[in-house]
């Protein structure tokens, strides 16, 4: 099949979950003999690269503002892709639902992966939330296939719009890192630091994690991997709250990211909006003990493989941290459960199988 993936910042992955998804799925489809093109954004992908891990790369511009970056790039990419003779297109992000028709008018069937409920993010004002609500309605009716990555999101589209979707999860089995260059550069010792990975946005609660951590005694460091181009105030707040034990290296991807995951003592997941969160699944795939913010989406992913927390009450993050961080038996049990959960449910090979079957049916 001649396939395209649109709606992400592109590969190699250097931003977030959709980019990692495009890379991991795209390379596996290419390894199976499919002709795979991934569209990316200038500023995130080097136009001179041309190809990566068997995928052809097309780099196009965007209007780099909080509200227009995604939609401006996908609009241009959809126009370009409509004339390329693709057998099927996988479009990422519900915000891109208005551009499905452009591709279909060119005779290309489209599968849309909607991710989570983006309109719930506090960074969006009334206009942004109204736009996302419109996109949800379009996502439920216009694409040739609707893809959700969590049962909670699948039920939402069925309940609110009467729409059926194919529920395909995210992969979490990672290659082990080859070395420790990133740990060495940051002055970290494997097994002696806690890890948080996410964009610094309000719903990901980086400031609340730092506040809770600051109330827990001990010398173990907290590594906060991430940042956000449109959330400078929150980033500055995190920096102001951080004590000397907190390491803020900014975004880290690829080999360095895997080093940090496989080397951490435990992983803290504090995101409250979305479907299946890639970093959470990947931390479990690395066999790390997981503490996760108690939401229906996160409970669905982790099940009994981690410890829940909130930011108040008896299950407050600082209380759970204080209980778990030096309990070697509990950490070992949680690590084993994490690995088992990913082996049973979140394997990239199975994810690629499901997408390959779905895309064949669309052709």
Percentage of residues of the chain with pLDDT beyond 70: 97
pLDDT band for 118, please (50, 70, 90 cuts). low
Q: What's the mean per-residue pLDDT of the chain? A: 93
Residues 157 and 146: their CA atoms lie apart, in Å, by 10
Tell me the per-residue pLDDT of 286-306, one tens digit each, with 9 for 90 and over. 999 999 999 999 999 999 999
* Closest to 226 in 3D by CA, of 270, 290, 191: 270
In the sheet that 88-92 helps form, which strands lie side by side, from edge to edge? 51-52, 55-60, 35-41, 2-6, 88-92, 110-113, 145-148, 166-167
Residues 287/338, Cβ–Cβ less than 8 Å: yes
Which one is predicted more confidently, 132 or 71?
71
What lies within 8 Å, CB to CB, of 94 at 6+ separation is 112, 114, 115, 118, 132, 135, 136, 139
Instruction: Express each pLDDT in 185-212 by its tens digit.
Output: 999 999 999 999 998 989 999 999 999 9
**Residue 87 confidence (pLDDT) above 70:** yes
CB atoms within 10 A of CB 298: 23
CATH topology of domain 2-171+347-362: Rossmann fold (3.40.50)
Whole-number pLDDT of residue 219: 77
Give the angle subtended at the CA of 231 by the CAs of 227 and 234, to the nearest 5°.
85
Range scoring the smallest mean pLDDT among 109-118, 142-151, 209-218:
109-118
pLDDT number for residue 230: 66
The predicted-structure confidence for 251-262, as pLDDT tens digits, reads as follows: 998 899 999 999
Q: Is residue 129 very low, low, confident or very high in pLDDT (cuts 50, 70, 90)?
A: confident
In the predicted model, what is the mean pLDDT of residues 221-243?
89
Say whether pLDDT at 124 is over 70. no
Element (H, E) at 92: strand 88-92
User: How many angstroms separate the CA atoms of 94 and 79, rounded?
Assistant: 18
State residue 349's pLDDT score. 96
- Tens digits of per-residue pLDDT, 33-55? 999 999 999 988 999 899 999 99
Q: What length is written for the chain?
A: 363
Q: What is the pLDDT of residues 140-164, one digit of tens each?
A: 999 999 999 989 899 999 999 999 9
Is the confidence at residue 121, as pLDDT, over 70? no
Per-residue pLDDT tens digits for 310-344: 998 878 999 999 999 999 999 999 999 999 999 99
**What pLDDT is stored for residue 328 in this prediction?**
96
Q: Do domains 2-171+347-362 and 181-345 have the same CATH topology?
A: yes
For residue 6, pLDDT over 90 is answered with yes
Residue 33's pLDDT is 98
Q: What is the pTM of this model?
A: 0.91
Query: Which residues are paired to 293 by β-bridges?
Result: 309
The domains of the chain are located at 2-171+347-362, 181-345
Question: Taking 90 as the threshold, does the pLDDT of residue 217 lie above it?
Answer: no
φ/ψ (deg, to 5) at 229:
-65, -25
Residue 280 reports pLDDT greater than 80: yes
CA distance 258 to 127: 38
Class of the CATH-defined domain 181-345: alpha beta
CA atoms of 215 and 230, how far apart (whole Å): 29
pLDDT at 14 over 90: no
């Amino acid at each position: 099949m001649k396939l395209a993936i649109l709606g992400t910042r592109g590969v190699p992955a250097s931003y977030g979950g959709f980019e990692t998804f495009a890379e991991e799925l795209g390379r596996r489809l290419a390894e199976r003999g499919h002709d795979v093109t991934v569209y990316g954004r200038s500023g995130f992908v080097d136009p001179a690269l041309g190809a990566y891990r068997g995928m052809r790369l097309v780099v196009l511009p965007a209007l780099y503002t909080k509200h227009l970056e995604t939609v401006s790039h996908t609009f241009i990419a959809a126009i370009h892709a409509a004339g390329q003779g693709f057998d099927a297109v996988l479009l990422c992000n519900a915000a891109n639902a208005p551009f499905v028709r452009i591709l279909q008018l060119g005779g290309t069937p489209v599968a849309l992966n909607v991710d989570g409920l983006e309109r719930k993010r506090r960074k969006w004002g009334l206009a942004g939330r109204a736009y996302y609500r419109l996109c949800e309605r379009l996502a439920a009716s216009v694409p040739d296939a609707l893809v959700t990555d969590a049962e909670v999101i699948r039920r939402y589209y069925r309940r609110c719009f009467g729409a059926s979707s194919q529920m395909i999860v995210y992969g979490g089995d990672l290659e082990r890192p080859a070395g420790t260059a990133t740990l060495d550069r940051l002055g970290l010792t494997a097994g002696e630091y806690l890890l948080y990975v996410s964009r610094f946005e309000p719903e990901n609660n980086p400031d609340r994690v730092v506040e809770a951590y600051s109330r827990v005694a001990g010398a173990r460091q907290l590594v906060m991997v991430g940042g956000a181009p449109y959330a400078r105030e929150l980033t500055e707040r995190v920096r102001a709250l951080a004590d000397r034990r907190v390491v803020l290296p900014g975004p880290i991807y690829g080999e360095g990211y895997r080093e940090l995951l496989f080397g951490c003592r435990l992983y803290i997941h504090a995101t409250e909006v979305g479907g299946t969160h890639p970093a959470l699944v990947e931390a479990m795939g690395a066999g790390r003990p997981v503490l996760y913010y108690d939401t229906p989406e996160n409970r669905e992913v982790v099940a009994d493989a981690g410890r829940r927390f909130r930011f108040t009450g008896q299950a407050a993050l600082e209380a759970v941290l204080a209980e778990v961080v030096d309990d070697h038996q509990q950490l070992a049990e949680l690590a084993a459960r994490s690995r088992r959960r990913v082996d049973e449910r979140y394997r990239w090979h199975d994810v690629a199988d499901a997408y390959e079957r779905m895309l064949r049916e669309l052709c």
